[in-house]
Amino acid sequence: MMNGYFVTGTDTGVGKTVLSALLCMALDARYFKPIQTGQDSDTDTVAALAGLDASRLHPPAVHLLAPLSPNQAASKEGRVLDIATIQLPFSSGNRPIIVEGAGGALVPIAPGQCMADLMARLGLPVIVATRTGLGTLNHTLLTLEALRLRGIDVCGVALIGDPNPDNRRDIEHLGGVPVIVDIPHLKAVTREALRGLASEVNIPAPVPGGDVLAMDRAHVWHPFTQAATAPAPVQAVRGQGAKLFTADGRELIDLVSSWWVNPHGHAHPAIAQAIARQAATLEQVLFADFTHEPAARLASELAAILPGGLNRVFFSDNGSTAVEIALKMAYQYWRNQGRAERTRFAAFQGGYHGDTVGAMSVGMSSGYYQDFEPLTFKVDFLPYPATWLDDADIEEKETQALAVLANYFSVHAGTVAGVILEPLVQGASGMRMVRPGFVKAVADLARAAGGMVIFDEVMTGFGRTGTMFACEQAGVVPDIICLAKGLTAGFVPMAATVATEALYQGFLGDTFDRALAHGHSFTANPIGCAAALAGLALFEQEGTLARIAALEAVHAQRLTALSNHAGLRRPRWRGSIGAVELAGGDVGYGAEIGKKLKRYFLEQGFFARPLGEVFYILPPFCLTPHELHRAYDTLERALEEIA
């Protein structure tokens, strides 16, 4: 990780620049002020006080003339700043860097962005400059609390002004951080005066956390991994936006949204703050006997954005469980109606629905569960006419598949309890895609036979296919929809199975045997609900669907251009998802070409996780079109170098 510190203050004019100069002198450090406001140059001041030459100075990324907060100063110049454009300057040496903020810790930089967001983005430990006099306790403790709620590491406080031992003691005791230096009131702030203080700077060394990889090797069992042959896992230390930062100092662009769960990117401050507020209010309550505002609000908001009459929300923990609940709902509904003969479930070839026993049963044809087949119940698997760019046979494939479906639902019309499918995209089996019209035809045939229509939108929900839910593009309102992954924007595990009012009414009665006897210890966890509410709000606040459309345009452009490449076949895309298959090698989840591509992308600063011979990109929606183009450039180079 970058070696250095970020200097902020409890207010403007508190002494950040003097402290920054002192730290540059004491640590033989470089200096960088990302945002300069006002005519004066803090960079020049630090250079003069600390005696820094040009090699240790980095010019501001932004210089605004008005001596105001960055947001207000930028507004006067007709500009809108964005912290995503600010990077730590590179140095070939080992000198640490001192980064000085502008104003206080929460001063606005741009609409929805403050100085603390920049601290989180740059990832440096923070030193807070504060006065020693009256009022410092409140200002300092509020600043420390605000930074900690955002997950920012504060390593110390600098007290500036006439010595005040009582305030120093209370700040260290109540704030839980050391005072790294006292800077007394100086008649003249000079290089000589600071040199006399440099030896007094005492920044505590970080507490070693132990050998994480050694602990991992000794005790952790990783999912979907053959530990005997897999390379050592990469140690992630933080995330920001579309990037992951590793313990060995790398920045990796996350091309798979960390197993498809991060729609808005990593560590979004709005969601982190919502979680912190909720954790300090109500962290958990038994949901069989209680309700709470976050759960009620989330259920109401899900009902409002889901199509049609999907308005009864059953909360659970993960996608597999959401599917289990849906299957149990469909099965018990018919028993409650006195239709015990409706026990048959249909699913689609290649579909994957999770790893619990019911989910494995309806996903058996995905190829992941052969060893567990004796544990599963019988499911009928129907043809899935996957398609791609320039698929000349799609009409014939769909016609044949629908003929099989029509015959199936005709023969079993009286015994089908439900049919489950991933609308538009089968994820884990290789981003296999069908046209919206096929999904609509499946629903029509199932309903004509009286069966429940269950959509597994664990992966496709929350914008992934270009609309909030994939079923919107098919013009279908299922009886039950399964949601997870992006529901809480990747922050905490949570899922929801949402049913129509008619299905819910089928469970009401005077006896418990009609109720759905299913539940989890953490059902409707308030922290998860708070995360979900904050994540849903971002779709409107950040124009997320427009971002997805921009990513889809890049997928379309680049995959169309690659369609004639000899090493590729079946390019396809939908919303933020782009996929293509590597031709000429082995196939299946363990395909060697996928492992080679994963290694290659890692070396180039990207995290990709091909599904065997299927290379796909399913990024956070905050990924820029430029970054997505870079990913495709990397794919083209990989094809030339390792194919």
Q: What is the 3-state secondary structure (H, E, C) of 520-553?
A: CCCCCCHHHHHHHHHHHHHHHHCCHHHHHHHHHH
Measured between alpha carbons, how far is 361 from 568 in angstroms, rounded to an integer? Answer: 33
**Taking all residues of the chain, what is their mean pLDDT, rounded to a whole number?**
95
Beta bridge partners of 611: 614
Share of the chain above pLDDT 90, in %: 87
Query: How would residue 92 be classed by pLDDT, with cut points 50, 70 and 90?
Result: low
Instruction: Read off the pLDDT of each residue in 171-178 and give the average, rounded to a whole number.
Output: 95
pLDDT at 1: 42
- DSSP code of 387? B
Q: Which amino acid is at 207?
A: V
Tens of pLDDT, residues 405-430: 999 999 999 999 999 999 999 999 99
Is residue 209 in a domain?
Answer: no
Instruction: Read off the pLDDT of each residue in 37-63 and give the average, rounded to a whole number.
Output: 94
Query: How would residue 2 be classed by pLDDT, with cut points 50, 70 and 90?
Result: low
Strands 108-110 and 113-114, bridge-based pairing: antiparallel
CB 43 within 8 A of CB 164: no
Is residue 105 in a domain?
Answer: yes
- What is the total count of domains within the chain? 3
Based on the domain organization, do 564 and 525 belong to the same domain? no
Tens of pLDDT, residues 575-594: 999 999 998 788 888 889 99
Query: Residue 102's closest CA among 93, 110, 90?
Result: 110
Residue 502 has pLDDT above 90, yes or no: yes
Based on the domain organization, do 489 and 566 belong to the same domain? no
CB 376 within 8 A of CB 450: no
Tens of pLDDT, residues 429-484: 999 999 999 999 999 999 999 999 999 999 999 999 999 999 999 999 999 999 99
Based on the domain organization, do 514 and 560 belong to the same domain? no
pLDDT at 205: 83
Share of the chain above pLDDT 70, in %: 99
Tens of pLDDT, residues 245-300: 998 889 999 999 999 999 999 999 899 989 999 999 999 999 999 999 999 999 99
Beta bridge partners of 239: 244
Measured between alpha carbons, how far is 428 from 351 in angstroms, rounded to an integer? Answer: 8
Based on the domain organization, do 54 and 16 belong to the same domain? yes
Q: Is 253 helix (H, G, I), strand (E, B) or coil?
A: strand
Q: Of all residues in the chain, what percent are helix, strand and coil, respectively (each to 5)?
A: 40, 20, 40
Based on the domain organization, do 361 and 450 belong to the same domain? yes
Based on the domain organization, do 312 and 347 belong to the same domain? yes
pLDDT at 588: 85
Q: Which of 507, 538, 569 is the last residue of a domain?
A: 538
Measured between alpha carbons, how far is 324 from 359 in angstroms, rounded to an integer? Answer: 6
Is residue 205 in a domain?
Answer: no
Q: Which of 511, 538, 565 is the last residue of a domain?
A: 538
Measured between alpha carbons, how far is 329 from 331 in angstroms, rounded to an integer? Answer: 6
Measured between alpha carbons, how far is 614 from 237 in angstroms, rounded to an integer? Answer: 28
Is residue 203 in a domain?
Answer: no
pLDDT at 269: 85
Residue 624 has pLDDT above 50, yes or no: yes
pLDDT at 151: 81
**DSSP output for 18-56:** HHHHHHHHHHT-EEE-SEEESSS-HHHHHHHHHT--GGG
For 12, residues 6+ apart whose C-beta sits below 8 A from its C-beta are 102, 103, 104, 107
Based on the domain organization, do 316 and 291 belong to the same domain? yes
CATH number at residue 192: 3.40.50.300
Query: How would residue 354 be classed by pLDDT, with cut points 50, 70 and 90?
Result: very high
463: left (phi over 0), alpha (psi -120 to 50) or beta: left
When mean pLDDT is compared across 76-80, 185-189, 314-318, 332-336, the lowest value belongs to 185-189
The parent domain of residue 16 ranges over 4-198
Q: Which residue has the higher pLDDT, 313 or 1?
A: 313
Query: How would residue 93 be classed by pLDDT, with cut points 50, 70 and 90?
Result: confident
- DSSP code of 179? E
When mean pLDDT is compared across 32-36, 110-114, 198-202, the lowest value belongs to 110-114
Based on the domain organization, do 297 and 361 belong to the same domain? yes
Strands 614-617 and 310-316, bridge-based pairing: unpaired
CATH number at residue 510: 3.40.640.10
pLDDT at 643: 63
